[in-house]
């Protein structure tokens, strides 16, 4: 009898051999060992309790190699674009010439070859102990290392696009880093998807994306981060991670829109490692059919006077499974921490499942921390009210659901970007009502 | 010099070792040989003169236990337990089934007197107390006395040690034992199934409202003994019973194991109210000694409109691992969990509840108040789940934690799982310290820091205290203030 998990392990071992000499050999080897000691996480691993990656990846796809697709990408934002397709930077699709002053970009390979201590510390953070991230560290093919000079103020947002082409099942491992110098400010739009999204080829190909963005905010730096994961087919498996490290008075204002596809896990690890650091994480997850969408978040308060606010909304239809795991850690040094986390979910169908696990882990006494979680269906009274005023049921539902979801998007400061995200939510809801 | 002495005196006064039930009773006891084996299981079974099916049931549990692993997911840390270094059976020698209270060893009576547990019925009747509480006193592995049996029998209520129930009502025991917490449930419950020695059995017949509070008092006395009691409460259709449980143990340097199983069955329209004041020895201020309290408690709302309510005040034990749960199987059934968990010194608490919604229109409510002080860690871990058929299920959870001092930790780990769109789940949790303003206000009116803290803590836990029967509420309030002594200043 073939042991399926061993089959997956063997594939990863072989893939590691091909990647071993692609820079940072020692780090890669350490990461591979850390992965191999644990294997792919399954339900017995507490932080993966609701998402069985091992069962989903019994057949790891081959590492992506083909990047021959010529394609024009529609422009959705007024932003400076950096595009990676199948784990490779595509200069033809990127705006390499118009990088704002003070912003420098290197490919991961280049960065690894000439890595200074800051780049190394950012690429290999200490606050994300996770097997999927370890696997990424062992197999990372490429990525973008973006450095923002101290005090720089980027006038246009930077759009980091990671795409998997949809012709054959393939695995893409990318790791990007963003280093924001003291007092600098930048807006980042992070888009993950498949090329030719929506086509039959894309939805059947079964992309396996494992992407990690590591981020370091020096003192007084500010980052607005918008993340959109969309378009992955029903057989795809994606893990999209963010690891952030905030120094004193740094501010990270993050919003994400996760549109389900196959099995999808968004994980965020944030360490507030300076006094008065401030992080906000907001998100909307939309999933239907047999999609499985997991958002897992760990906010680690390590220094006094930190603040973190999390607001998440999940809407589930069909047989979809939603997961929200949020953990606020307050270390004993982190007195005067203020942490609030909220997760709300609406189930639209009898077959949907929501698992909420908001956690507090607190070792300091002078703090104010709280979380709230709710789960239920649309409010019947509100629905009745709208329908009594002549709205058809589908429209009334969409209106209420949009209001519910947009609450988590209200903190996007850039109006055009907020409109873009709200429009995407609207489109998903319309698609649902029309189906 | 004087100042130094004053400091020493003050430090002594705030010693967390202020455990007033820490005395031992010098009484000869009969023990099974140390260690655990099939022979010990047979020995216990033979001691209790059990029928063959029960011996086999125990042996099956023991064999199963050998294949299991000790759970390690809770946020508690302790050195490995040597299960062969424990006595699994210990009984006071002089009590081969006392007929009346006068047959009970006077030394034992004195012990319970010291603990404030009345075992003499006439004293209660003659006294000023107006409410009667029937008590089953369990000393190490055996029940030594049960009061008010006759009066209860008049109402048809069966209240006796479970070892006696096996003899007198074998059909009831056989039908319900292990039906809520199966033999295979978890490591400690399986161990309990193999070696449990005594505990209480309650059966309330159809439509009967139990005329008085029932109570069990557990006392671990012997060294190196594990206490494994088993409680089974059955409330037949339309009945009501309120049951209280209390516990203490002597101060000893080594850790003692307490792995109990409590099973509740509520049939149609029945209600069970189960209250616990847990005050096992928590270990000394250096974290030495104390009871490991690894308990499985579960209630099954088997009938329609059944209602089970757990109320617990947890102040003792060095480690608590306890999740009183409700299986809401019957339509419209209700589960409640009210908890105060106080930890001080080096105590570790990992406690909470599970509300499993299976039936339609089932409701549950969780109110948990955790207070951590000293170097303790206090974790609330709870699960609320609605299954596909749990149409209209509702849950409201509130868990608040209070931190006193900066070496302690308070943690909240809820699992909220819904598979039904009509289920409405709400969960809220907060963690904070006692507000400076409140303290200032109370102290400004002449209270010391400690008194002010006690006052505020009492307000913090009031929601839960109100759920306790009156006598227990008073005791619990006192206990909480004793447990927190030395945590301020």
pLDDT per position as a tens digit, B217-247 = 777 766 667 788 899 999 999 999 999 887 7
Strand segments (E) across B228-270: 230-235, 240-248, 255-258, 261-266
What was the pLDDT predicted at B252?
66
Smallest Cα distance from A381 to chain B, Å: 14
| Per-residue model confidence (pLDDT) at position B8 | 45
Q: Which of the residues B372, B422, B427, B431 would you substitute to probe the A interface, choosing the one with the greatest number of A C-beta atoms within 10 Å?
A: B431
- C-alpha angle B251/B256/B259, rounded to 5°? 130
pLDDT at residue B4, rounded to an integer: 47
pLDDT of residue B469: 76
Residues B44-65 have a mean pLDDT of 93
Region of poorest pLDDT, from A107-111, A154-158, B286-290: B286-290
pLDDT band for position A71 (cuts 50, 70, 90): low
Q: For chain B, how big is the Rg over CA atoms in Å? A: 22
Instruction: Give how far the C-alpha of residue B306 lies from the chain's centroid of Cα atoms, to the nearest Å.
Output: 22
The pLDDT value recorded for residue B229 is 87
Give the C-alpha distances (Å, rounded to integers) separating A425 from A99, A348, A399, B27, B330. 30, 15, 11, 74, 40
Entry pTM: 0.88
Provide the shortest C-alpha distance from residue B284 to chain A (in Å): 22
The band of B258, judged by pLDDT with boundaries at 50, 70 and 90, is confident
Residue B486's pLDDT is: 66
Position B11 scores a pLDDT of: 39
Are B487 and B374 within 8 A, CB to CB?
Answer: yes
Q: Tell me, what's the pLDDT at B474?
A: 75
Binned at pLDDT 50, 70 and 90, residue B353 comes out as very high
The average pLDDT across B335-363 equals 93
Rounded to an integer, what distance in angstroms lies between the CA atom of residue A394 and that of residue A433? 5
Tell me what pLDDT residue A166 has.
72
pLDDT recorded at residue B256: 82
Tens of pLDDT, residues B414-435 = 999 999 999 999 999 988 888 8
Residues 6+ away with beta carbon under 8 Å from A370: A339, A340, A341, A360, B428, B429, B430, B431
CA distance B96 to chain A (A): 48
Tokens of B270: 């029945």
Tokens of B451: 């008194």
Q: What is the pLDDT of residue B112?
A: 65
> Which residues does residue B399 pair with via DSSP β-bridges, in sequence order?
B368, B429
pLDDT computed for residue B15 by the predictor: 41
Cα separation, B401 vs B409, in Å, equals: 10
Core vs surface per residue B124-155: b (16+ CB within 10 A) or e? beeeeeeebbbbbbbbbbbbbbbbbbeebeee
Question: Min CA distance, A306 vs chain B (Å)?
Answer: 15
Average pLDDT over residues A348-371: 92
- Give A336's DSSP letter: T
Q: Is A349 in CB contact (< 8 Å) with chain B?
A: yes
Q: Residue A406 pLDDT > 70, yes or no?
A: yes
Which of A348, A355, A366 faces B421 most closely, judged by CB atoms?
A: A348
Cβ distance of A368 and B422 shorter than 8 Å:
no
User: Is it the case that residue A405 has pLDDT exceeding 80?
Assistant: yes
The single-letter DSSP state of residue A262 is S
Q: Could you tell me the two tokens for B460?
A: 């913090």
Q: Is residue A20 scored above 80 in pLDDT? A: yes
Tens of pLDDT, residue by residue over A323-333, are 999 999 999 99
Per-residue model confidence (pLDDT) at position B3 = 44
3-state secondary structure of B352: coil
Residues of B whose CB is below 8 A from A322: none
Q: How would residue B298 be classed by pLDDT, with cut points 50, 70 and 90?
A: very high
Confidence of residue B361 (pLDDT cuts 50, 70, 90): very high
CA A30 to chain centre: 24
* Per-residue tokens: A285: 């997850």
Interval A303-320 mean pLDDT: 96
Residues of A in contact with B376 (CB under 8 A): none
**Best mutation site among A314, A339, A362 for testing chain B: the one with the most B CBs within 10 Å?**
A362
Q: Please give the residue of chain B at the shortest CA–CA distance from A318.
A: B421
Q: Please state the rounded mean pLDDT for residues B13-39.
A: 69
The mean predicted confidence, pLDDT, of chain B is: 83
Write the residue in A358, A363, A364 that is nearest to B414 by C-beta: A358
Burial label, A102 (beta-carbon count in 10 A; 0-12, 13-18, 19+): middle
Whole-number percent of chain A with pLDDT over 70: 95
Flag whether pLDDT at A4 surpasses 70.
no
pLDDT of residue B20: 65
In sequence order, the 6+-apart residues with CB closer than 8 A to the CB of B295 are B188, B258, B259, B260, B261, B262, B320, B321, B322
Residue B105, phi then psi, degrees to nearest 5: -50, 125
Q: How far is CA B175 from CA B188, B289, B459, in A?
A: 22, 39, 44
Tokens for A245, please give them: 């490290």
Based on DSSP, count helices (H) and strands (E) in chain B, helices before strands. Answer: 12, 24
Give, for A123, the enclosing helix (H) or strand (E): helix A117-123
Q: Are the Cβ atoms of B427 and A373 closer than 8 angstroms? A: yes
From the list B404, B420, B428, the residue facing A365 with the nearest CB is B404
Is A337 within 8 Å of A369 (Cβ atoms)?
yes
Q: Nearest chain A Cα to B400, which residue?
A: A370
Range with top average pLDDT, B9-18, B64-73, B125-134: B64-73
Residues of A in contact with B429 (CB under 8 A): 358, 360, 370-372
Is residue B341 pLDDT above 60, yes or no?
Answer: yes
Tell me, what DSSP letter sits at residue A187? E
Under the banding of pLDDT at 50, 70 and 90, the label for residue A434 is low
Residue (of A36, A265, A264) closest to A138 by Cα position: A36
Least confident of A264-268, B61-65, B96-100, B178-182: B96-100
DSSP states along A56-120 = HTSSPPPBP--------PPP-SSSEEEEEETTEE-GGGS-GGGPPTTEEEEEHHHHHHT--HHHH
Q: Name the nearest CA neighbour of B158 among B181, B182, B176.
A: B176
Predicted pLDDT at B14? 39
pLDDT tens string A173-211: 999 999 999 999 999 999 999 887 667 666 667 899 999
Q: Provide φ and ψ at B10, rounded to 5°.
A: -65, -40
Q: Are A299 and A252 in contact (CB under 8 A)?
A: no
E-state strands within A221-352: 222-229, 237-246, 251-259, 263-272, 278-287, 292-301, 307-316, 321-330, 338-347
H helix intervals, A300-414: 380-388, 393-406
Sign of CA dihedral A62, A64, A70, A72: positive
How many Å lie between the alpha carbon of B95 and the closest alpha carbon of chain A?
48
Q: Is the pLDDT of residue A5 over 60?
A: no
Contact B397, B363 (CB under 8 A): no
Reference B313, options B260, B243, B370; nearest CA is B370
DSSP for A386-421, please give it.
HHHTT--HHHHHHHHHHHHHHGGGTT---HHHHHHH
- What are the CB-based long-range contacts (under 8 Å, 24+) for A40-48? A40/A5, A40/A8, A40/A131, A40/A132, A40/A135, A41/A130, A41/A131, A41/A132, A45/A131, A46/B73, A47/A130, A47/A296, A47/A325
């Amino acid at each position: 009898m073939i042991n399926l998990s061993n089959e997956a392990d063997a594939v990863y071992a072989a893939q590691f051999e091909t990647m071993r000499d692609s820079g940072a050999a020692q780090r890669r080897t350490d990461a591979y060992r850390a992965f191999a000691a644990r294997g792919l996480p399954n339900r017995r691993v507490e932080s993966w309790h609701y998402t069985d990656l091992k069962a989903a990846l019994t057949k790891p796809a081959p590492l992506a190699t083909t990047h021959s697709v010529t394609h024009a990408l529609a422009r959705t934002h007024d932003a400076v674009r950096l595009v990676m397709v199948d784990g490779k930077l595509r200069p033809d699709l990127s705006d390499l010439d118009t990088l704002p002053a003070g912003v420098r970009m290197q490919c991961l390979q280049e960065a690894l070859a000439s890595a200074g201590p800051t780049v190394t510390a950012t690429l290999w953070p200490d606050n994300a102990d996770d097997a999927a991230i370890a696997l990424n560290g062992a197999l990372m093919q490429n990525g973008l290392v973006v450095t923002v000079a101290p005090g720089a103020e980027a006038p246009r947002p930077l759009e980091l696009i990671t795409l998997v082409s949809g012709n054959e099942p393939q695995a893409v491992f990318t790791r990007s880093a963003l280093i924001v110098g003291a007092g600098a400010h930048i807006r980042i739009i992070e888009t993950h998807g498949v090329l030719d999204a929506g086509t039959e080829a894309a939805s059947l190909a079964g992309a396996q994306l494992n992407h990690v963005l590591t981020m370091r905010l020096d003192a007084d730096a500010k980052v607005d981060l918008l993340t959109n994961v969309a378009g992955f087919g029903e057989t795809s498996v994606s893990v999209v991670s963010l690891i952030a490290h905030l120094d004193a008075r740094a501010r990270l204002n993050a919003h994400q829109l996760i549109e389900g596809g196959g099995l999808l896990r968004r994980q965020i690890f944030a360490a507030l490692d300076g006094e008065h650091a401030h992080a906000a994480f907001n998100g909307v997850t939309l999933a239907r059919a047999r999609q499985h969408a997991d958002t897992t978040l760990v906010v680690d308060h390590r220094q006094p006077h930190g603040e973190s606010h999390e607001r998440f909304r999940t809407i589930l239809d069909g047989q979809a499974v939603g997961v929200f795991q949020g953990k606020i850690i307050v270390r004993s040094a982190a007195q005067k921490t203020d942490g609030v986390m909220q997760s709300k979910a609406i189930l639209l169908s009898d077959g949907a499942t929501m698992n909420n696990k908001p956690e507090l882990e607190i070792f300091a006494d002078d703090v104010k921390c709280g979380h709230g979680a709710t789960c239920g269906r649309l409010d019947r009274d509100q629905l009745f009210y709208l329908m009594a005023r002549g709205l058809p049921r589908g429209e009334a539902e969409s209106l209420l659901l949009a209001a519910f979801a947009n609450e988590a998007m209200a903190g996007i400061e850039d109006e055009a970007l907020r409109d873009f995200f709200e429009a995407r939510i609207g489109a998903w809801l319309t698609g649902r009502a029309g189906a | 010099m004087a100042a130094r002495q004053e400091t020493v005196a003050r430090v002594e006064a705030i010693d967390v070792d202020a455990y007033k039930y820490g005395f031992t009773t010098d009484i000869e006891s009969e023990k099974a040989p140390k260690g655990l084996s099939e022979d010990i299981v047979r020995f216990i079974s033979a001691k209790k003169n059990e029928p063959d099916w029960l011996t086999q049931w125990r042996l099956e549990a023991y064999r199963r236990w050998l294949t299991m692993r000790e759970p390690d997911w809770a946020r508690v840390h302790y050195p490995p337990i040597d299960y062969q270094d424990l006595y699994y059976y210990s009984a006071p020698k002089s009590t081969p089934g006392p007929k009346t209270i006068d047959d009970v060893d006077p030394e034992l009576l004195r012990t319970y007197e010291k603990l404030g547990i009345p075992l003499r019925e006439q004293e209660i009747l003659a006294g000023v107390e107006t409410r009667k509480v029937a008590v089953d006193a369990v000393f190490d592995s055996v029940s030594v006395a049960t009061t008010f049996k006759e009066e209860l029998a008049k109402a048809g209520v069966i209240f006796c040690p479970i070892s006696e129930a096996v003899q007198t009502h074998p059909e009831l025991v056989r039908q319900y034992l292990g039906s809520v917490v199966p033999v295979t449930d978890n490591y400690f419950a399986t161990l309990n199934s193999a070696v449990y020695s005594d505990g209480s059995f309650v059966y309330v017949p159809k439509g009967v409202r139990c005329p008085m509070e029932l109570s069990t008092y557990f006392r671990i006395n012997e060294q190196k003994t594990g206490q494994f009691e088993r409680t089974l409460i059955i409330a037949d259709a339309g009945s009501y019973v309120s049951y209280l449980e209390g516990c203490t143990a002597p101060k000893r340097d080594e850790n003692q194991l307490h792995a109990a199983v409590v099973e509740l069955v509520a049939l149609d329209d029945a209600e069970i109210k189960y209250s616990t004041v847990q005050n096992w020895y928590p270990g000394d201020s250096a974290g030495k000694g104390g009871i490991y309290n690894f308990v499985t408690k579960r209630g099954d709302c088997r009938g329609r409109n059944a209602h089970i309510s757990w109320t617990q005040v947890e102040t003792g034990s060095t480690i608590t691992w306890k999740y009183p749960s409700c299986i809401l199987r019957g339509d419209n059934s209700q589960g409640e969990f009210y908890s105060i968990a106080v930890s001080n010194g080096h105590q570790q608490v990992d406690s909470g509840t599970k509300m499993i919604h299976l039936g339609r229109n089932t409701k549950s409510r969780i109110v948990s108040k955790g207070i951590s002080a000293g170097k303790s860690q206090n974790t609330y871990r709870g699960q609320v789940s609605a299954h596909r058929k749990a149409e209209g299920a509702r849950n409201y959870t509130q868990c608040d934690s209070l931190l006193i001092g900066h070496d302690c930790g308070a943690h909240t780990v809820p699992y909220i799982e819904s598979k039904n769109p009509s289920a409405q789940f709400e969960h809220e949790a907060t963690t904070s310290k006692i507000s400076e303003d409140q303290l200032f206000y109370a102290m400004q009116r002449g209270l010391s820091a400690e008194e002010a803290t006690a006052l505020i803590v009492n307000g913090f836990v009031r929601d839960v205290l109100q759920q306790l029967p009156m006598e227990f509420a008073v005791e619990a309030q006192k206990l909480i203030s004793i447990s927190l002594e030395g945590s301020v200043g």
